[in-house]
Amino acid sequence: AQKVTQAQTEISVVEKEDVTLDCVYETRDTTYYLFWYKQPPSGELVFLIRRNSFDEQNEISGRYSWNFQKSTSSFNFTITASQVVDSAVYFCALSEANYGQNFVFGPGTRLSVLP
């Protein structure tokens, strides 16, 4: 069965600090996709990244970076030099290519960036 765990329920940092959000997943599939979404206070989920199970290269997009490690079944998300606008709930999600029908979302991590 597919499962996503985000052990950090809430994180608070001071502006300009770096912060890492953890995501651990479980799957029996060899082909799967991992996603991160941001949910600001307005409520809409904003897509951030999609990675497939065959691409373990780390990815950087501006202040955002993602570390995918199949050996530990983790897909962690780091925000460098955090800003107040980064305050949101962040969701990690998993989708299996061969077994699952749809996405499985983690419970989310609420990030508060204090000025």
Partner 1 sequence: DGGITQSPKYLFRKEGQNVTLSCEQNLNHDAMYWYRQDPGQGLRLIYYSQIVNDFQKGDIAEGYSVSREKKESFPLTVTSAQKNPTAFYLCASSIQGARGTDTQYFGPGTRLTVL
Residues at the site binding partner 1, with contacts judged by CB under 8 A: 32-33, 35, 37, 42-47, 50, 91, 95-97, 100-103, 105-108
Sign of CA dihedral 27, 33, 34, 35: negative
Nearer to partner 1, 16 or 50 (CB): 50
Q: Return d(Cα 20, Cα 18) in angstroms, integer.
A: 7
Min CB(16)–partner 1 separation in Å:
28
CB 52 within 8 A of CB 33: yes
Nearer to partner 1, 25 or 108 (CB): 108
Nearer to partner 1, 18 or 52 (CB): 52
Nearest to 51 by CA among 63, 40, 60: 60
Min CB(99)–partner 1 separation in Å:
10
